Structure 1
């Protein structure tokens, strides 16, 4: 079969290679023809999508689907069905609410996958091409219809991540992506993201990560990780690596093995951890190795300056421990960025003010203040669904900027104003302002920062 894998367009200013689709392409291309289309990178909106559909005789089109992609995907799936193409979606949203996903798209969606699909998608395509329809019940993670009823197959996780190979970098072409892919700054270019682990054993109530990759943390072999970095360096000219999984340092001995191999390789690269890492596993030896191998930035999911809210989030940390950890990281000359959530269920104005003051007290080079998003399938989402009703969630504005939810007693418009206030108070301090200004690499980088400033601060 001939399949097109699509990352749909949205107004995000994070333009980074679609690793998930890259891994799927590697799995599928063993028996089928596959192409990737990143609509965000290429600026392909709804009106332009048909011309790409008609460029090849595609049998099937698969879409990555986050919750905020729902209204965008609806007309795209309709276009595909009008051409007689098989339609599929996968990703966080169908993993969280598979039956609701099938109902939302209706007749325009043939199948969706929950969880990881590197095993299931090739099996589905094989069964369709070889007309073995009875095989569907044995396809892990498949969500399908039988006689009008939605059937959700059990998920399955690959324990040995090395068996999945690496993303189809030849189809992704990482060297063609813009400089500031994840976050607003970088040290070297071109940049490529990599995944070292999958799965998370933690139970943060707002996080949907485990819905795709499960609770067990699975690791690639250190050798496989470093071989991929070497390939990216030699074949694609990559000079900066972003480790985008959350648990690279969960097993600090594993992380040290990877870093020692990177050090032995003598690759002249910089690297960062833009999605965050767990603070509990950081010791001096690990931080020293991280610095020696080119690490310049660590992002931390700090989330709140209120110990009460941290407990509600089940973060299993305290503001005191966070402060100590940041001081420790900074002592090795590594910059720290922080992620914060405001508007969490049960949060008060006092809690939000604590978070803003806490962020200003910490030795951070950058801070991101997100309004709480009720991701389907998370514990906090289920709580809202049960106690407050989903009419509180504005799905059409389900974006990282703006406020699609606000807790009781706090108006959504006021919450957005607090978010803007936090950004301005943090970045307009002279020391922070100039520390960031001197890191601007080019006029194009400057224009990107202006766009981000507009989205986060000026946009209503």
Structure 2
């Protein structure tokens, strides 16, 4: 609905009678955002407008409401939503809570986790909030297709409503592959980190050429310059966990952004930059203690791509954490060479309850690893997994099947190499060309090779059921401890057959 001029009588959505509106205030916004005085008779109004839209019966027909002038103090209504999709683990609502904390001082924010909802159910939840702006997180390349479907449906359902919200999308998937989302109806894409750019959108709307924004303009798609990264990270507010749904036992925490490495298959540096930026140890320890004391967190998952990028920082964090209180377990991801950079690092991490670590190996073929920018030796991986076992840390190795440069001979050695490295369990994933990465050139974006998909399933089954893996896990179960609990769970799952595509 268009703005109602000053001193004109317009419709109030929550009343059967009209209401006096002030400049630039839309009827829908006024209905949700301003406080009204006591009802007064219609006869006392000096001007009347066109009352054509029916309203709810909440006050007598011979009365009206005069709203106090709200415009300058009024906050825009922002809905941040994780759209419907099949999602193994939901990082989306956490990233939205981080954004919400950065803008809630200038916007009335609602956070919706629609992961398990139908598209229609999700759209109804959005429209029930009568938003001015809808922000949609697209977590990965795999999320783009379902996000496009949601954007398209939301756009269609709001085209004929009095107030059409601005639809924006962001996150790793949107940043890497914005065009399908724009074509589906998104007003703009927020690429890269979103805190500063979202503030700009709330304050100024969609302005082509704005830093961090991709949108359509008169000359086609316009991509603004990259937004300056947040620095230092401690200036960010803590995530708005009060807006998040129940995390179902696992609390996410971000302790750093970016990566100092330049692996050719990874999009991390394309999203957050090559400069690795940490939260201070005191900030990290404070948030972990808050999660334990105020939220009763038992499991905390550190969302960093490489938690151990600065081993000295990790040592400081761990020594402070050891003073308590601690959760039952902390989950993390790190590179093998960083974990071995200090002789006592893994022991200190274990004493701080960091008892499950995922190590990205990608490939153990020396030639392919060097080409990918991650030339770490097989002996290094074997040593880091040995030390993790010694300190009761459950180890997960992540492999990519089909990296460019991988020869058929090297592929066939994947299982042998993985068994020699001896992680507690391993995940083999098909190579997925990601837009903007060097390895995406000449490949079909977002679609893995069917042979890579099949071999990944074969390798997963083979490794998990191999007698050396099973024996190692049974020994862990016998010793007890946290590693033993994880080993028992993996043994139970290993009895399930992973179907071949």
TM-score (structure 1 length as normaliser): 0.81
Q: How does 1:234-245 map to 2 (within 5 A)?
A: 234-245=293-304
Give SS of 2:409's match: helix
**Preserved contact between residue 92 and residue 211 of structure 1 (Cα < 8 Å):** no
Q: Which has the higher helix share?
A: 1
Matches of 1:3 and 1:26, distance apart in 2:
12
Q: Which residue of 2 aligns with 1:78?
A: 152
Deviation at 1:278, TM superposition (A): 4.7
Matched residue, 1:409: none
Change (3 A) 1:78 1:44: same
2:144–2:174 CA contact under 8 A, matched in 1: no
- 1:243-262 equivalences under 5 Å are 243-262=302-321
Contact 1:256/1:289 (8 A) holds in 2: yes
The structure, 1 or 2, with the larger RCO (C-alpha pairs under 8 Å, 6+ apart) is 1
Equivalent residue, structure 2, for 1:183: none
Matched, 1:54 2:120: no
1:439 aligns with 2:482: no
Question: Is residue 342–residue 371 contact of structure 1 (8 Å, CA) maintained in 2?
Answer: yes
Query: Pairwise mapping of residues 22-171 of structure 1 onto structure 2 (< 5 A)?
Result: 22-40=97-115, 43-65=116-138, 66-82=140-156, 83=158, 84-97=164-177, 101-102=178-179, 105-106=182-183, 108-128=185-205, 137=209, 139-155=210-226, 156-171=228-243
Cross-structure match for 1:340? 399
Structure 1 segment 61-460 matched on structure 2, within 5 A: 61-65=134-138, 66-82=140-156, 83=158, 84-97=164-177, 101-102=178-179, 105-106=182-183, 108-128=185-205, 137=209, 139-155=210-226, 156-173=228-245, 176-178=246-248, 190-273=249-332, 275-282=333-340, 283-382=342-441, 384-385=442-443, 390=444, 393=445, 395=446, 404-406=447-449, 412=450, 414-428=451-465, 429=467, 430-431=470-471, 434=474, 439=485, 457-458=498-499, 460=501
- Tell me the distance in 1 between the aligned counterparts of 2:353 and 2:108: 38
| Residue deviations 1:8-51 (CA, integer Å, cap 9, x gap) | 222232235632211111112111011112222xx112242222
Q: Which runs of 5+ in 1 are unaligned?
A: 179-189, 396-403, 407-411
Change (3 A) 1:304 1:311: same
Q: Secondary structure at the match of 1:439?
A: helix
* Kept in 1: contact 2:101–2:238 (CA 8 A): yes
Q: Deviations over 1:126-176 (max 9, x none)?
A: 113xxxx76x64x43122333243222222101110111221111124xx2
Measured in 2, the distance between the counterparts of 1:73 and 1:415 equals: 25
* Equivalent pair of 1:291/1:332 in contact (CA under 8 Å): yes
Partners of 1:268 and 1:20 in 2: how far apart?
A: 22
Say if 1:5 and 1:34, in contact at 8 Å, map to a contact too. Answer: yes
Larger Rg: 2
Structure 1 window deviating more from structure 2 (227-236 vs 10-19): it is 10-19
C-alpha change, 1:110 and 1:370, in structure 2 (3 Å) is same
CA RMSD of aligned residues (A): 2.7
